[in-house]
């Protein structure tokens, strides 16, 4: 399945590996998930005008989960 987000991640990861110039990468999974999640939360909170209930609905997650993630990423 292909979409713009997946294509963007694919291009970015390919550039990341190219830029490593032979160095061995580590913890790629966590790095990608943290960066994608952080950016997604920033954008969604902006679109929801800071309303956590609206943002949680947009994300399809529980408001408490959203608050925990916002705290984790220091976005509160």
pLDDT tens digits for range 9-65? 999 999 999 999 889 999 999 999 999 999 999 999 999 999 999 999 999 999 999
The pLDDT score that the predictor gives to residue 34 is 95
The pLDDT score that the predictor gives to residue 70 is 98
Q: Report whether pLDDT(1) > 70.
A: no
Cβ(37)–Cβ(69) under 8 Å? yes
Question: pTM of the prediction?
Answer: 0.82
Q: State the burial class of residue 44 (Cβ atoms within 10 Å of its Cβ: 0-12, 13-18, 19+).
A: middle
| Rounded Cα gap, residues 53 and 11, in angstroms | 33
The pLDDT score that the predictor gives to residue 61 is 98
Q: Which CATH class is domain 4-72?
A: mainly alpha
Domains of the chain: which residue ranges?
4-72
């Amino acid at each position: 399945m292909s979409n713009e987000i997946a294509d963007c991640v694919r291009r970015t990861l390919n550039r990341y590996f190219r830029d490593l110039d032979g160095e061995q990468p580590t913890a790629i999974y966590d790095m990608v998930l943290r960066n994608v999640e952080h950016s997604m939360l920033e954008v969604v909170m902006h679109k929801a005008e800071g309303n956590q209930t609206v943002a949680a609905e947009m994300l399809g997650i529980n408001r408490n989960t959203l608050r925990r993630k916002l705290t984790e990423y220091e976005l509160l």
